[in-house]
């Protein structure tokens, strides 16, 4: 995940407006870890299929709830990693550029954190 600026023509050399980041190129913060994320999501998907199988096989309720808890924790962990990447990529990009965008990105991240805390 790179925030390394590449110079582009600008009216004032060295100004913040003369940098192009991955964000400007349409690259999401999770891009560099995409395959790891997909692998992790496939494991979580397997856990959910396991839950379906447990219900189908009339497994004891507490055992199913234990698996639900493990699946929930796995999703929360994934969400936290994605949030960290968002902060490092999108919010950091907005901070680099300044202006109103940083306030919008911080507000957006704060709302995402609030949603995560409600679950």
Residues 70-99 have pLDDT tens digits of 999 999 999 999 999 999 888 988 888 888
Residues 6+ apart with CB under 8 A from 114: none
| pTM given for the model | 0.71
CA-based angle 66:69:74, to the nearest 5? Answer: 130
Query: pLDDT tens across 6-17, in order?
Result: 444 444 445 555
Q: Give the pLDDT confidence score for residue 112 in this predicted structure.
A: 92
């Amino acid at each position: 995940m790179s925030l390394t600026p590449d110079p582009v023509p600008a009216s004032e050399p060295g100004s913040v407006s003369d940098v192009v980041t991955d964000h400007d190129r349409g690259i999401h913060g999770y891009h560099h870890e995409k395959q790891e994320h997909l692998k992790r999501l496939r494991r979580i998907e397997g856990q959910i299929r396991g839950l379906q199988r447990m219900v189908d096989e009339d497994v004891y309720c507490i055992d199913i709830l234990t698996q639900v808890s493990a699946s929930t924790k796995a999703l929360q962990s994934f969400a936290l990693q994605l949030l960290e990447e968002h902060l490092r990529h999108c919010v950091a990009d907005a901070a680099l550029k300044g202006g109103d965008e940083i306030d919008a990105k911080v507000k957006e991240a704060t709302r995402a954190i609030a949603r995560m805390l409600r679950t």
